[in-house]
């Protein structure tokens, strides 16, 4: 769908997958004016196709749009794009454990000009790709590298938006993580509070059963995290969103106050963190069963194996 120079979204068009033609002066290529979402479609045992909390992705895309000076796509248009893609490409939704169709909605500034200002001509696209487990080792605990030198986002920056610039900033630290034999990188803010991983939120489980997750305006508000915390509340756990300093993390693990640390996101679902590594330390992380139990509960809902008490699923193929 395109947003024209005069404003207003045009009729959507479904076309075969292929290259996009862009003017070399298209604003997105120079100023990074673009946003995206990540969402999955799941095939249930009866063959039907469902997605999980798509209204939340639609609203987050609107929040990202506001921050990036892009026009907001109305929620019904977002949902319609998911349905239309499934109507054409529904056969691509795989079945089986951890299998899904990953849906990637994105919007970018198409207008060609060289000055720095918000573009008036914008395109919204949706593409999809079948997806399996995110980490090659399945749900084995992941190792995390502390990025000391680099930040992903700053106060007042674009950290809470899902925009390419944040990911561009995370590529070099992510390479550093690989060089140090870690799977993922964790970012701190300027006050050394924990932010998030390159593509996942972090949750700490305290020994009194409280789940604590960093809250700040420089991290992405994960939909998986919100859902996992809701499932934990349903089980009687307390949850807190607040600043968590890096020292609190290390000391909490050392003293036994923190009994589990896990990461969560649409792609990896819920993954325990097994190791935290920095330039001059290596902390083993405590392991427990809560993360894996919550993961099971969440995936059971997503794949239609457990009652969807919160009304989180939306059927796409009917
Ligand atoms: N943080 C970042 C930086 C991410 O890219 C993602 C994945 N979208 C998340 C957190 C988790 O968000 P969600 O649970 O909505 O996928």
Q: Is residue 269 part of a domain?
A: yes
105 and 169 together in one domain: no
Note if the pTM is more than 0.80.
yes
Instruction: Indicate which atom in ligand 1 lies nearest the CA of residue 223.
Output: 15
- Rounded to two decimals, the ipTM of the complex is 0.99
Pick from 205, 197, 171: nearest CA to 286: 205
**pLDDT beyond 70 at 72:** yes
Q: How many domains does the chain have?
A: 2
Instruction: List, for residues 211-259, the tens digit of each pLDDT value.
Output: 999 999 999 999 999 999 999 999 999 999 999 999 999 999 999 999 9
CATH of the domain at 197: 3.20.10.10
pLDDT digits (tens, 9 = 90+) for 97-122: 889 999 999 999 999 999 999 999 99
Measured between alpha carbons, how far is residue 161 from residues 34, 67, 182 in Å? 10, 7, 26
Centre of ligand 1 to C-alpha 217, Å, is 14
Ligand 1 pocket test target in 186, 201, 215 with most atoms within 8 Å of CB: 201
Summarize pLDDT for 118-147 with one digit per residue, the tens.
999 999 999 999 998 877 666 789 999 999
The CATH number of the domain holding residue 76 is 3.30.470.10
Q: Domain check: are 151 and 270 in the same one?
A: yes
- Nearest atom, ligand 1, residue 167 CA: 3
Q: How far is the CA of 229 from the centre of ligand 1 (A)?
A: 15
In a domain, 266, yes or no: yes
My answer on whether 47 and 170 are in the same domain is: no
Report the alpha-carbon distance of residue 22 to residue 137 in Å, rounded.
Answer: 38
Test site for ligand 1: of 200, 215, 269, 298, most ligand atoms within 8 A of the Cβ: 200
Classify residue 173 by burial, with Cβ atoms within 10 Å: 0-12, 13-18, 19+.
buried
């Amino acid at each position: 769908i395109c947003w024209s120079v005069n404003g207003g979204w045009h009729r959507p068009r479904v076309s075969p997958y292929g290259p996009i033609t862009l003017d070399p002066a298209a604003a997105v290529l120079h100023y990074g004016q673009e946003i995206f979402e990540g969402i999955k479609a799941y095939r249930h045992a009866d063959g039907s196709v469902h997605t999980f909390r798509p209204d939340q992705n639609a609203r987050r895309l609107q929040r990202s749009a506001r921050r990036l000076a892009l026009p907001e796509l109305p929620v019904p248009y977002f949902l319609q794009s998911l349905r239309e893609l499934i109507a054409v490409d529904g056969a691509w939704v795989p079945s089986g454990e951890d299998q899904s169709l990953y849906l990637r909605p994105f919007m970018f500034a198409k207008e060609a000009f060289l000055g720095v200002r918000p573009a008036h001509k914008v395109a919204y696209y949706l593409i999809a790709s079948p997806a399996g487990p995110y980490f090659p080792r399945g749900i084995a605990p992941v190792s995390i590298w502390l990025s000391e030198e680099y930040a992903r986002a700053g106060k007042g920056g674009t950290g809470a938006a899902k925009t390419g610039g944040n990911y561009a900033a995370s590529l070099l630290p992510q390479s550093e993580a690989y060089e140090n034999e870690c799977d993922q990188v964790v970012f701190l803010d300027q006050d050394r509070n924990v932010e998030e991983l390159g593509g996942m939120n972090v949750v700490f489980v305290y020994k009194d059963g409280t789940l604590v997750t960093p809250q700040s305006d420089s991290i992405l508000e994960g939909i998986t995290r919100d859902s996992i915390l809701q499932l934990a509340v349903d089980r009687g756990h307390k949850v807190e969103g607040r600043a968590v300093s890096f020292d609190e993390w290390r000391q909490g693990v050392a003293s036994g106050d923190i009994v589990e640390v896990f990461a969560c996101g649409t792609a990896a679902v819920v993954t325990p963190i097994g190791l935290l590594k920095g330039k001059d330390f290596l902390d083993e992380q405590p392991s427990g069963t809560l993360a894996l139990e919550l993961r099971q509960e969440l995936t059971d809902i997503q794949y239609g194996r457990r009652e969807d008490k919160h009304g989180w699923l939306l059927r796409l193929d009917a």
